[in-house]
Amino acid sequence: MEQASAALVEAPAEKIGLMGEMMAEAGKRFGHVKTATADAELLQSLSERLLKLIGNKRPDEAPTYITVPASAYLDPAHFAREKAAIFDRMPILACLSSDIAHAGDYRRVQELDTPIIVTRTRKGEVKAFVNGCRHRGAALVYDDAGNAKGGFLCPYHGWAYTDEGDLKGIACPEAFEGLDKKEHGLVQVPCEERHGLVFVSPRADAPLDLDTFLGPDLDRELALWQFDKVTGARSEPVALKGNWKLVYDTFLESYHFAQAHKNNLATFYVPNVNTVDRFGKHQRIAVANRTLPDHVAAHAPEERQLQDHLLIAYVLFPGIVLINSPQILEVFRIFPQSVDTTIVQHSCYSKLPAEMNGNDGFFEMVWQSAHNIVMNEDFPFGVTTAHRALASGSIKELIFGRNELAVQNNYAVIRETVDAAG
């Protein structure tokens, strides 16, 4: 990974693509496509706050800078406590509803200790199972995605399960005389679909309570964006040599835009200016397009199309980042594998009406550009090279400024969650 990252850092800027120009072009080409019904009051208040912050050239800020010791990124015992308190207990985003839109569609979640299949049954419900046969444990599903409308057939000895996970057939049943089939369906994993997002528990024995997890305010707000209507997913897994918190940190501030993304995002968004709001452990971060001040100045309140001039990201704890721009929804799912290895699942969904998705390969270009940006301009700086410097023992701590408020909040949430778990 280190080698690959080093090469990526030196990738010429033109290869990265001008995301900002493309997004501006999308605005012209598609006009004000109303694909998400945002709450006018929310957009108004975020815009007002952002305009003030732009005037002051500062984001929402923490009272002081903080430091985080290198051991937080390197110590296996520290990592084990985090994993037990956070990633073994809290809901995980398995996929979006649109990834399993049809009966029988399934997705495999491989990055947790428990191998999981999430599927839509013929009744239209979403269910999750442990990807392990009740006979001798073989996995039923070997692809990341597919369709199993007829149910799941174990490839080892041929036990068959319905799409609901019930054991319906045992090969050579006389050998298992007395075994109650009803007791030997696939092991279910708690799972719930909400606002176009499919959440699962990370373990079969971990309860899932989305009302408590999201809280009423965030629950209401996520409903506004109609994530259940997105289409056209592109995704790519990224394996990174670096602690999971370094990956998380790359998404939580706009301070790095002016330098790291000077050729793309910074030409489109105002760098180092963003709002930060907490919803319990979760956060909302809003960034202004450079067009926002002129748009507000030129239009009466009732004529404004504020959502075309804002980027509103939701950071769900732990490890779920939803970057919500007018035309696309970009999703990052962070899965720690060990103290120094992390898998990120990067996906991009279109919010444009289906007939526009193929328009000049626009969506494909946006995906490539978005993926190149994180691969070339975020992860090499924030994750791989930073982890290497920490691991060398020569850098004793990292420093997070007042302008990195959401990053600071996230460290506080991690600490509180680990402490509460005892």
Q: Report the nearest approach of ligand FES to the CB of residue 200 (Å).
A: 22
The dihedral through the CA atoms of 184, 190, 193, 198 has a sign that is negative
Query: Near ligand FES by CB under 6 A, which window of 105-113, 155-163, 182-190, 300-308?
Result: 155-163
Give the interface segment with ligand FES, choosing from 12-20, 101-109, 144-152, 157-165 (CB under 6 A).
157-165
Tokens of 345: 């699942």
277 vs 378, beta carbon nearer Fe ion: 378
Work out which of 378, 379, 398, 413 binds Fe ion, going by CB under 5 A. 378
Q: Which amino acid would we find at residue 350?
A: S
DSSP type of residue 77: H
CA–CA separation, 255 and 259 (whole Å)? 8
Q: Which position among 22, 62, 116, 133 is part of the footprint of ligand FES (CB under 6 A)? A: 133
Per CB under 6 A, does 52 bind ligand FES?
no
- Confirm or reject binding of residue 159 to ligand FES (CB under 6 A): yes
| Residue 154 interacts with which of ligand FES, Fe ion, none, CB < 5 to 8 Å by class | ligand FES
DSSP code of residue 227: G
Using CB atoms within 10 Å of the CB of residue 400, give its burial: 0 to 12 exposed, 13 to 18 middle, 19+ buried. Answer: buried
Q: How far apart are CA 233 and CA 370, in angstroms?
A: 13
Residue 268 CA to residue 180 CA, distance in Å, equals 62
Q: If contact means CB under 5 to 8 A according to the sort of partner, which of ligand FES, Fe ion, none does residue 378 touch?
A: Fe ion
Q: Residue 33 contacts by C-beta under 8 Å, 6 or more apart in sequence?
A: 326, 327, 351, 352, 353, 356
Please say which residue, 65 or 142, places its beta carbon nearer to ligand FES. 142
What's the min distance (Å) between Cβ of 155 and ligand FES?
Answer: 8
Q: What distance in Å separates the CA atoms of residue 96 and residue 145, rounded to the nearest whole number? A: 12
Residue length, the chain?
Answer: 422
199 contacts ligand FES (rule: CB under 6 A): no
Indicate which of ligand FES, Fe ion, none lies near residue 156 (CB less than 5 to 8 Å, by partner kind): ligand FES
CA dist 274 and 255 (Å) reads 9
Q: Tally the C-alpha atoms within 13 A of residue 35's C-alpha that lie toward its C-beta.
A: 26
Residue nearest to Fe ion (CB): 378
- The residue among 317, 257, 321 whose CA lies nearest residue 287 is 257
Neighbouring residues of 184: CB distance < 8 A, sequence distance ≥ 6: 134, 167
- Strand 66-69 to strand 397-400: parallel, antiparallel, or no bridges (unpaired)? antiparallel
Strand order in the sheet with 152-153: 152-153, 160-161, 167-169
Q: Could you tell me which stretch among 27-35, 108-116, 324-332, 375-383 binds Fe ion (CB under 5 A)? A: 375-383
Residue 57: which of ligand FES, Fe ion, none does it interact with, CB under 5 to 8 A by kind?
Answer: none
Q: Which of Fe ion, ligand FES, none does 138 bind, CB closer than 5 to 8 A by kind?
A: ligand FES
Which residues ranging from 46 to 65 are in contact with Fe ion (CB under 5 A)? Answer: none
One of 157, 220, 299, 396 touching ligand FES (CB under 6 A): 157
Question: Exposed, middle or buried, 243 (CB in 10 Å: 0-12/13-18/19+)?
Answer: buried
Contact 202, 112 (CB under 8 A): yes
Phi, psi of 225 (to 5 degrees): -90, -5
Q: How many residues bind Fe ion (CB under 5 A)?
A: 1
> Cis ω on the peptide bond leading into residue 318 (within 30° of 0)?
yes
Per CB under 6 A, the list member of 49, 81, 135, 234 interacting with ligand FES is 135
Instruction: Considering the complex, state which of residue 169 and residue 293 has its C-beta at the smaller distance from ligand FES.
Output: 169
Looking at beta carbons only, is 154 or 370 nearer to Fe ion? 370
Nearest approach in angstroms of CB 166 to ligand FES is: 15
Q: Look up residue 68 and give its two tokens.
A: 């985080």
Residue 186 Cβ vs ligand FES, minimum distance, rounded to whole Å: 11
Q: Which of 138, 206, 224, 233 binds ligand FES (CB under 6 A)?
A: 138
34 binds, among Fe ion, ligand FES, none (CB under 5 to 8 A by kind): none
Q: How far is the CB of 174 from ligand FES (least distance, A)?
A: 15
**Least distance (Å) between residue 110 CB and ligand FES:** 18
Rule CB under 6 A: which residues touch ligand FES?
133, 135-136, 138, 154, 156-159
Rule CB under 5 A: which residues touch Fe ion?
378
